Amino acid sequence: MADQIKFTLLGTGTSQGVPVIACDCKVCTSADPRDNRLRTSVLIEYRQQVLVIDTGPDFRQQMLRQKVKKLDAVLFTHEHKDHVAGLDDVRAFNFRQKEAIDVYAEPRVQDALRREYAYIFADDRYPGIPSVNMHLLENKPFQIGALTIQPIRVMHYKLPILGFRIGNFAYLTDVKSVPEEELSKLAGLEVLIVTALRKEPHISHMSLSEALEQVERIRPIQTYLTHLNHTFGLHAIEDAQLPKGVNIAYDGLEILQQL
């Protein structure tokens, strides 16, 4: 029997978020809530399971805004601060659920987490600190409860990072290029979430035109652009100019699918 899975975009902004501190540009001062972008993250809800991809600096605010009452697991795409800086706040779920939270990360990302959150992994644990169960993430399908997750290897400039496919939904943030050999994993997608940082080229993120080229290659039914910075332009104006089946993501966007 098919069950519904819900993906909620918790944040769709680049590393600084939008508005940018002290910026008076038209996007940063826009009254349209879709122009306010917390740091990039996705909430995944299926049956009783609740997962997030990345815990950025806005994780606490995102959990409060979305009224998330339970968290089973965190999947990390990579170790950059805008994707890991909120990990300390999983404590709230530790206290509430009286259990450690499962965290999935590649070896390099695990090393970074152990460095940046040395106290979490210390033998002599200070009372009240977060409690996590670290799981090895490899570039092969794995299971979290009833969900099968297919990692996708993508390149963030020279840094190999991971995207994820669940059912016919895929999430590729912070991507500059998608290797040819990974394309078959993205066949038959209904929804693709993909980075389009801005219109100007950038060394480690796809620009709008590069993202649209990937859409041509991957051919999902619907694409949402994420990890935008404030130079991209106003949501209402830019969204209306995109090709059919491509839209700009916004914080709070919900995507429902049958799994």
* Strand ranges for the chain from DSSP E: 4-11, 41-46, 49-53, 73-75, 101-105, 132-136, 142-144, 147-156, 159-166, 169-172, 191-195, 222-226, 246-248, 254-258
- Please, which residues bridge with residue 197 across strands? none
Task: Identify the residue among 23, 136, 236, 256 touching Zn ion (CB under 5 A).
Answer: 23
**Closer residue to Zn ion, CB minimum distance, 110 or 173:** 173
Query: Smallest distance from the beta carbon of 15 to Zn ion, in angstroms?
Result: 5
In DSSP terms, 142 is beta-bridged to 149
Residue window 41-80: x/- pattern of binding to Zn ion, with contact defined by CB under 5 A: ----------------------------------------
Options 18-26, 62-70, 135-143, 192-200: segment touching Zn ion (CB under 5 A): 18-26
As measured in angstroms, the least distance from the Cβ of 243 to Zn ion is: 24
| Least distance CB 161 / Zn ion (angstroms) | 9
Radius of gyration in angstroms for the set of CA atoms belonging to the chain, rounded to a whole number = 18
Nearer to Zn ion, 5 or 249 (CB): 249
Q: Phi and psi (nearest 5°) for 13?
A: -105, 160
What residues between 81 and 120 interact with Zn ion by CB under 5 A? 82
First to last CA, the chain: 9
Nearer to Zn ion, 24 or 123 (CB): 24
Q: Does 234 bind Zn ion (CB under 5 A)?
A: no
Candidate residues 174, 182, 210, 251; the one interacting with Zn ion per rule CB under 5 A: 174
Q: How far is residue 124 from each of residues 89, 129, 257, measured CA to CA in Å?
A: 20, 11, 44
**CB of 45 or CB of 82, closer to Zn ion:** 82
Q: How far is the CB of 26 from Zn ion (least distance, A)?
A: 8
Q: Take residue 50 and report the two structure tokens written for it.
A: 């609740």
CA distance 105 to 76: 5
Binding site for Zn ion (CB under 5 A): 20, 23, 25, 28, 82, 174, 230
